[in-house]
Amino acid sequence: MRVLVVDDNPSERASIQSILEAASFCVDAVGTAGAVAEIERDAPQVILLSLATTESLEALRAIRDSSGEAYLIAVLGAKPAPGVADVIAAGAHDFLCRPIVPEQLRARVSAPSRLIKWARSVAKSASFGASFGLVSRLRAWQQLGGIAAAALSSALGQRMQAKEGWPSELASTVRVATVPMSLPALQTEIRLSIVADLAAASILTTQLVDDPNPTEAAIDDLLRELANTAAGATKRAALAEQIPMTLGLPVSHGDVVARGDGTRCWCLSWQAGGQLAIVGEIRERENVRVPAVSLREGMVLAHDLRNRAGTLLASAGSRLTKSTAERVAELLGERFMVEVACPT
């Protein structure tokens, strides 16, 4: 872990550096005037900033704005001036009061590692489970089959009926089209799949394009269109419940869709005969933090993305295109970290 000590007192600066280096930290030390340039040269994980007067808050804000994701610790006088509340409001994550005690100094600088472990344990055991439960209670999830049936009825010009359960007439050899629907704020994804065997696909292509013997490519094209239509209707239903989703691209495959916890299935039937399966699956997907230069097409933003001036570059829930990812990377650089849901 790289630590940057920012202190205008040379003797104190050298003392802090010596204590931390003895504890195996990689330490650089500079005065306040050289802090921003040093941060831009090589971004530290922890910054230890000495504050002597209320005017030091301006230095704290400037360092905070240039420090990206660094953990910022303010070193205060025995009688803090500025006060602790002012320092935290100005952007410090923690504080340390003089006189500096080596054990306390090492413990405070080590805090980010402990916080990361704690945050990960909370996210996996509590936050994920809570998100899963929230999504499973949505009308858009509970009535997924009916929502899909209504959307497909309109698109195909014939009434489809949905009944929960796996189609009894579906053959073992099937084609599948799947659309991932990301909910990055909840670190969750709903995958909507449409499953058809050759008999059902032939009925549909005969009715739609007068092709009773469709190729596998034609079947895949049709199912992707149907999956897109059903996913779009599901997205609108979720939005009515104040839950925004971001649709991914439909993918064709011939895999058997798993059935188990977090998965529901509906049988869609229509007057001309044949059956389709609509399968919904909830997946918990932990967001990741990546440098802006590592953004790529298909990633979904968990939060609004703004530049240092506050200008909105891309809103939360946006699925990045190649050009947008490249533009953001160029503007923000490698030190700026972005929270995203990665593409499937």
Average pLDDT over every residue of 212-238: 92
Tokens representing 49 are 């900033």
Q: Locate the DSSP E strands across 54-97.
A: 71-76, 94-97
Give the best-scoring range by mean pLDDT among 100-109, 122-131, 203-212.
100-109
* 151 three-class SS: helix
| Domain map (residue ranges) of the chain | 2-109, 139-284, 287-341
The CATH architecture annotation of domain 139-284 reads 3-Layer(aba) Sandwich (3.40)
Which fold would CATH assign to domain 287-341? Answer: Molybdopterin biosynthesis moea protein, domain 2 (3.90.105)
Which residues is 306 bridged to in the sheet?
312
Average pLDDT over every residue of 178-183: 91
Task: Note whether 276 and 195 are within 8 A (CB).
Answer: yes
Task: Note whether 294 and 320 are within 8 A (CB).
Answer: no
Q: What is the pLDDT of residues 40-82, one digit of tens each?
A: 888 888 999 998 766 678 888 888 888 777 899 999 887 766 7
Q: Between these two residues, 335 and 117, which has the higher pLDDT value?
A: 335
**Cα gap 185→192, rounded to integer Å:** 19
pLDDT tops 90 at residue 155: no
Place of tokens 């923690």: 94
**Predicted confidence band at 343 (pLDDT cuts at 50, 70, 90)?**
low
Place of tokens 């998100």: 131
pLDDT tops 90 at residue 23: no
Buried b (16+ CB within 10 A) or exposed e, 71-106: bbbbbbeeebebeeebbeebbbbbbbeeebeeeebe
The CATH architecture annotation of domain 2-109 reads 3-Layer(aba) Sandwich (3.40)
Stated pTM of the model: 0.58
Q: Locate the DSSP E strands across the chain.
A: 2-6, 26-30, 46-50, 71-76, 94-97, 160-164, 174-183, 188-197, 246-247, 251-253, 263-270, 275-284, 288-291, 300-301, 305-306, 312-314, 337-341
Average pLDDT over every residue of 311-329: 88
Q: Between these two residues, 255 and 4, which has the higher pLDDT value?
A: 4
Minimum mean pLDDT among 17-26, 74-83, 213-222: which range? 74-83
